[in-house]
């Protein structure tokens, strides 16, 4: 019986330690100032962009949990001296949208039509957007290009095409020289490719090309460190090579195992792996599997 007691004590200690680690991750928001009016915030989830407009703060994405949304709301007020008046969701995935319900219902929420559709019908957390949370679903939809002004700041909203999903929205802070691309840009990391929600490896390089003519010097990825146009081009080169894998699979009729063995993929050197135990793993095998899966859909 002593060994059982010891084992239970060890399990309990490990559980407490793990719980403490998770709580620390969820309650930590790191801040880096980019310009006089703009910041990038890091937490458990995707990168968040914050803009001071003089008429309220604008936030691009909202992390993974409502608890984090509350932290972001307070942090935005602390940093800018202004309440958040607009949230822009680059896409529907929970690590970019599930902080929304922590904000005031008067906040404008901007996204594409497909992002709204997926939030309403494809969210992995059943019932997440029921009740009061529904008030923080997107209420302003942009499916092309639209320039808006909040306070004294000009913002361009751009849906450049299919890539990570078919509902990605890019945000250009025109007066700050900043572009926030959400998960259309993973900086030096293997990307998530959400085929079930319109992702397209073969379209993705051109989609990124459609963003490179925008006026910016600073590029904020959905995941990874802040970069620039050259960083986007490096990721674009990786995707171009991966789209070549899609075409090779189609042309040669490769099986998935043959794809793993024969695909030419060299542009991913040094890429970081993204993972959450028992949930997902974004690595070389994942992107090659997605390339093989996309090839099966081509005529």
Residue 253 in contact with residue 211, Cβ under 8 Å? no
pTM of the model: 0.91
Is 16-229 a domain of CATH 3.60.15.10? yes
pLDDT digits (tens, 9 = 90+) for 211-249: 999 999 999 999 999 999 999 999 999 999 999 999 999
C-alpha dihedral sign at 299, 289, 221, 84 = positive
How does pLDDT run across 82-133, given as a tens digit for each residue?
A: 999 999 999 999 999 999 999 999 999 999 999 999 999 999 999 999 999 9
Give the residue from 293, 91, 297, 107 showing the smallest Cα distance to 207. 91
Structural tokens at position 138: 């997107």
pLDDT tens string 22-34: 444 566 999 999 9
284 to 26, 182, 194, 297: CA distances (angstroms): 27, 21, 15, 21
Tens of pLDDT, residues 1-15: 555 545 444 343 333
Rounded CA-CA distance 58/175 in Å is: 13
CA diameter of the chain: 70
* Percent of the chain residues topping a pLDDT of 90: 89
pLDDT of residue 1: 55
Q: What is the mean pLDDT of the chain?
A: 93
CA separation for the pair 295, 42 (Å, rounded): 35
- How is the chain split into domains, by residue range? 16-229
């Amino acid at each position: 019986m002593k060994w059982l007691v010891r084992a239970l004590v060890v399990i309990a200690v490990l559980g407490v330690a793990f719980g403490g680690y998770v709580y620390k991750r969820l309650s930590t928001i790191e801040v880096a100032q980019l310009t006089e009016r703009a910041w990038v915030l890091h937490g458990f989830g995707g990168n968040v962009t914050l803009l001071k407009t003089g008429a309220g703060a604008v936030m691009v994405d909202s992390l993974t949990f409502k608890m984090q949304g509350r932290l972001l709301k307070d942090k935005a007020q602390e940093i800018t001296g202004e309440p958040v008046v607009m949230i822009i969701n680059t896409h529907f995935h929970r690590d970019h949208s599930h902080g929304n319900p922590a904000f005031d219902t008067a906040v404008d929420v901007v996204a594409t039509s497909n992002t709204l559709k997926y939030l309403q019908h494809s969210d992995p957390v059943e019932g997440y957007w029921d009740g009061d949370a529904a008030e923080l679903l997107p209420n302003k939809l942009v499916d092309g290009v639209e320039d808006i002004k909040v306070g004294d700041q000009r913002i361009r909203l751009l849906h450049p095409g299919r890539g990570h999903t078919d509902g990605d929205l890019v945000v250009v802070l025109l007066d700050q020289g900043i572009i926030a691309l959400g998960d259309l840009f993973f900086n030096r990391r293997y990307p998530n490719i959400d085929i079930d929600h319109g992702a397209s490896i073969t379209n993705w390089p051109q989609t990124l090309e459609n963003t490179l003519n925008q006026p910016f010097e600073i590029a904020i990825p959905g995941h990874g460190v802040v970069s620039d146009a050259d960083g986007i081009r490096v990721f674009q080169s990786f995707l171009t090579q991966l789209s070549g894998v899609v075409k090779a699979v189609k042309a040669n009729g490769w099986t998935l195992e043959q794809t793993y063995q024969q695909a030419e993929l060299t542009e991913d050197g040094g890429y970081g792996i993204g993972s959450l135990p028992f949930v997902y793993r974004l690595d070389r095998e994942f992107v090659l599997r997605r390339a093989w899966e996309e090839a099966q859909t081509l005529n």
